[in-house]
Amino acid sequence: MNKNIKISVVVPIYNVDRWLQRCLTSIIGQSFTEFELLLVNDGSTDDSLRICQSFSKKDERIKIINKRNGGLSDARNAGIDIAQGGYIVFVDSDDYLERNYLFDLYHNIIKTNADIAMCEYKEVTEKGKLIKKVYLNEMSSAQIVSGRQIIKNIYKDKGTINIVAWNKIYKTSLFTDLKYPVGRFFEDEYMIIPIMYKTKKVCLVRNILYNYVQRSGSIMLSPLTIKKVKDINHFKLWRINFFKKNKDKELYYAAIDDYKNWILMLRQSKFADKEYFTYLQHQYRKYTLQFYPRNMKKITKDILGSINLNFASKLKK
């Protein structure tokens, strides 16, 4: 670690030349200045690298890492590997920050001696028009909560602010021996659960400091595909097994219930693809046989029967 660098700011970059200048300008213009800016160019084929180079010529805090395209997880891992700061933040390259983002998060994590500090944010359009504000008040009135409490809130329909990587500052040491999974959608899930689970103190900063841009072509807004469904299924089963391994009965059953509700929700999907319905049917059977409590098997068997009829009627159409 470099004592002169308080925070490492990691920005994964891939073909975002339309939004990158706004993002980097918001970082360079932060009121807090003791940071390094790690721009991980993940094999961009547009003008993104040139924009990075233009900024780096004007600011010695910027380091550019050029690599082959490996996806968001691989780019974040590359930034983590060379981070010199005692604390680390992640910024998506199409998003942008309020001026006191780093100052407020750093001040609060130091003041409270927390492992993580997280802030509120705005969802905005590509042009910066407000879609909605996302507050921490809905989660807890306390300033300090445990990481386990953050995980519990994921299962109360207010999970997005807890799961994402980008509205938080972390002690860099939390990432020792942890890597983002490469090649999967929803990579934040696999990192935030083990990190939060071992974190005793999370500081809640009740200021809107981050602007999350809802782009029309983003993964979160893209339609369902078999690949996406399988990736969602994988991380939901991974969560179940994580809590089972840690012998946390409350979160184990919360994850099971969440999995059940997800599959029942998918049943109503308009994604009418035979492969999709066959896969969903198989996963529901796997779920009832392997994870559900024994005294509920008859109920889930009846539910499965009704789903089979639903599948049959849809596949005939």
Residue 141, pLDDT score: 76
The pLDDT, as a whole number, for residue 160 is: 66
How sure is the predictor about 62, in pLDDT bands with cuts at 50, 70 and 90? Answer: very high
The pLDDT of residue 104 is 98
Under DSSP, is residue 130 helix (H, G, I), strand (E, B) or coil? strand
DSSP string for residues in 258-309: HHHHHHHHHHT-S---HHHHHHHHHHHHHHHHHTS-GGGHHHHHHHHHHHHH
| pLDDT at residue 183 is higher than 70 | yes
Q: What pLDDT, on a 0 to 100 scale, did the predictor assign at position 314?
A: 44
pTM: 0.87
Check residues 128 and 183 and name the one with the higher pLDDT.
Answer: 128
* Contact present, 260 and 287 (Cβ < 8 Å): yes
Across 31-35, 204-208, 217-221, 302-306, least confident range: 302-306
- Residue 312: predicted pLDDT: 41
What is the mean predicted confidence (pLDDT) over 262-285?
Answer: 69
**pLDDT exceeds cutoff 60 at 255:** yes
At 213 the pLDDT is 97
User: How do residues 143-175 score in pLDDT, each as one tens digit?
Assistant: 999 999 999 988 876 566 788 999 999 999 999
Q: Quick: pLDDT tens for 188-222.
A: 889 999 999 999 999 999 999 999 999 875 555 55
Q: Which amino acid is at 138?
A: E
Triad 133, 188, 117: Cα angle to 5°: 60
Give the CA count within 13 Å in the CB-facing half-sphere of 98: 18
* pLDDT, position 165: 94
What per-residue confidence (pLDDT) applies to 302? Answer: 45
* The pLDDT of residue 184 is above 60: yes
Query: Any idea which of 221-225, 239-243, 265-269 has the lowest mean pLDDT?
Result: 221-225
The whole-angstrom separation of Cα 211 and Cα 213 is: 6
Share of the chain above pLDDT 90, in %: 60
Whether the pLDDT of residue 274 is over 80: the answer is no
pLDDT for 271 equals 56
Res 229: pLDDT: 81
What is the 3-state secondary structure of 70-90? CCHHHHHHHHHHHCCCCEEEE
pLDDT band at 284 (very low <50, low <70, confident <90, very high): low
Q: Which domains does the chain have, with CATH numbers?
A: 7-213 (3.90.550.10), 226-316 (no CATH)
Across the range 104-117, mean pLDDT stands at 98
Query: Each residue of 113-122: pLDDT tens digit?
Result: 999 999 999 9
Per DSSP (E only), the strands in 91-172 are 96-97, 116-124, 130-134, 144-145, 168-171
Question: How high is the pLDDT of residue 185?
Answer: 77
